[in-house]
Structure formats: C-alpha cells, structure tokens
A and B are shown apart, each in its own frame.
Chain A
C-alpha cells in the first residue's frame, strides 16, 4: 500500500494544497474611486499625484498606494483630519459639504473612459 516514491506525490499534493495559504496576499483593490457631485472618477493607486476637484475646493493627494484629502475649504475639516486611507482598509473618506466620497475599489482595466449617470 505504501512505497517510497509515494512521498514525492504526497509532498507535491500537500504543497499544492497549502500554496494559497502561504502566498503573500496581494490586495485586490487597485483603483481609487472618487465620487464628487454626480460624477465618478477612477485613479490609479500606484501613481502619485495631487489634484483638485470641485473647482479647487478640495485637494486630494495620492502617494505610495495611500490617499488623503490634503486640504478642503469646508468648515469642520473632518475629511482632512481623517488622514491617510490605506489600500487594505475598508474605509471611506467623506467630505459632506463638498459632496466628495473617496474609497479603494477593485476594478478591471476596461476600455470605458468615464461613467455618466
């Protein structure tokens, strides 16, 4: 019932079964979704940029696969106090007065440039 060569097969089976657990988990979220007013925009999480939305009222910074609202003209500045949003956090940065929602999403690169709603 058991011979020496079986060990090779059993080792291969065991390593194949354990491979998904040992593999370093890479995050699935690869895009930053910015919803402002009624528009939705997607930004690459790996590309570091600083840009303005809502007519220069809100300044958003993307750096090292993190995102934050760097500056905003709203009164309480909860969005600025929120700080950096990391890739593996299931959170959102929301600025209510300026109607901005930022979050990480998983999105394939399709050939649609923008979504109109």
Chain B
C-alpha cells in the first residue's frame, strides 16, 4: 500500500485521529491486572519512529493526548497533565534509544522502554504534587514490572504494523 502525501499535516491529521480513536477504544479492553492499559496509540508512534519520521511521531503523540483528553472529558485536568508529560517523556526516551541503537533494537524493546518512561513520568509528577517524602523504593519496581506486559503487547502490534507493506511517499510539488 502506498500512501502519498503533499504535506506532513495530512499524515499527522489522519494518524492523530486513528491514534486517539485507539486510545478511546481501549477503555473497553479489560486486562486482568488493575491500573494497566495497553496503550495501543503508542504503536502508531512507534511505527513512525521506525520509519525515521520523528516530527510526525511527536505530533501524533501530542495530538492524541489532546484529542483523547477532550473526548474523555479530562482536558487540562490533572490526569491530562500526567498523561501529557508521560507521552512527552516516553517519546524522547524511545527516539533517543532508537537513534543510539538504530537497527540493533526491536520495536518491542522500544515499546517497553516507552511504557516504563510513561509511567515513571507520571509517578514523578505524582510524587511532586502529592507526596514529596517518597524516594526510590519498591513502588518504582512495581511500576516498572507492571509496565512491561502492556509494553510487550504494544510492541508486538507495532512490529506487525511495521512489517506491513505501507510506503509513505512524499509527492513532489
């Protein structure tokens, strides 16, 4: 499948809509572990990172938080700020790891590190807002271990998505 686009705005719009739809629909997917969600929208971000379209990946990542926050009625509230900071940190962690390790890294490992960064950013903000006396303790390792399972799931989906025959072709003006 070939996707032709004139400007990046077109791709960003389409895939932001897709990512926020996935983010909203995964409310209905119930995992047996509490407080854990899969984060399917991250698969699309990973798809663009794997194709070295970093700007599109960043825009999709930010816009899906805004759109998802708008439709779940959490826009500019505290969970929204947590989600935004987590998305930003996970994006930068994934991009830096991908730039450093390049083709030696699979999307599953990138997804796991992104999921952990997402939750760690939220935990840091939680500590900052609510409980400043907490230091590095067992809570952090519980967060890390709980992030691994959805990270692996999302990574497998992103890997499947990446192996599809999708070409992004920029039309010459």
List chain A positions with a Cβ less than 8 A from chain B: 1-6, 8-10, 13, 16-21, 108
Q: How far is the CB of B171 from chain A (nearest CB, A)?
A: 33
List chain B positions with a Cβ less than 8 A from chain A: 97, 101-106, 108-110, 112-113, 116, 133, 136-138, 140-141, 144-145, 148, 156, 159
Secondary structure class of chain B's binding surface, majority of residues = helix
Q: Does the CB pair A20–B105 fall under 8 Å?
A: no
Secondary structure class of chain A's binding surface, majority of residues = helix
With contacts A3-B109, A9-B97 known, what are 4 further pairs, Cβ within 8 A? A17-B140, A17-B144, A19-B136, A20-B136
Residues of B within 8 A of A19 (CB): 136, 141
Q: Does the CB pair A5–B109 fall under 8 Å?
A: yes
CA distance A9 to B103 in the complex (A): 14
Q: Which residue of A lies closest to B159 (CB)?
A: A1
A-B contacts, 28 of them at CB < 8 A, read A1-B106, A1-B108, A1-B156, A2-B106, A3-B104, A3-B105, A5-B102, A5-B105, A5-B109, A6-B105, A6-B109, A8-B101, A9-B97, A9-B101, A9-B109, A13-B112, A13-B113, A13-B148, A16-B116, A16-B144, A17-B141, A17-B144, A17-B145, A19-B141, A20-B136, A20-B140, A20-B141, A21-B138
**Looking at the complex, which one of B101, B136, B148, B159 makes contact with A5 (CB distance below 8 Å)?**
B101
CA distance A61 to B30 in the complex (A): 59
When A and B form their complex, which 3 residue pairs have the shortest distance between CB atoms, in order from nearest?
A: A5-B104, A6-B109, A5-B105
Residues of A within 8 A of B116 (CB): 13, 16
Q: Which residue of A lies closest to B141 (CB)?
A: A17
Q: Which residue of B lies closest to A16 (CB)?
A: B144
CA distance A21 to B106 in the complex (A): 29
Q: Which residue of B lies closest to A3 (CB)?
A: B106
Residues of A within 8 A of B105 (CB): 3, 5-6, 9
Q: Does the CB pair A16–B141 fall under 8 Å?
A: yes
Q: Which residue of A lies closest to B135 (CB)?
A: A20
Q: How far is the CB of B91 from chain A (nearest CB, A)?
A: 16
Q: How far is the CB of A55 from chain B (nearest CB, A)?
A: 37
Residues of B within 8 A of A6 (CB): 105-106, 108-109
Residues of B within 8 A of A10 (CB): 109, 112
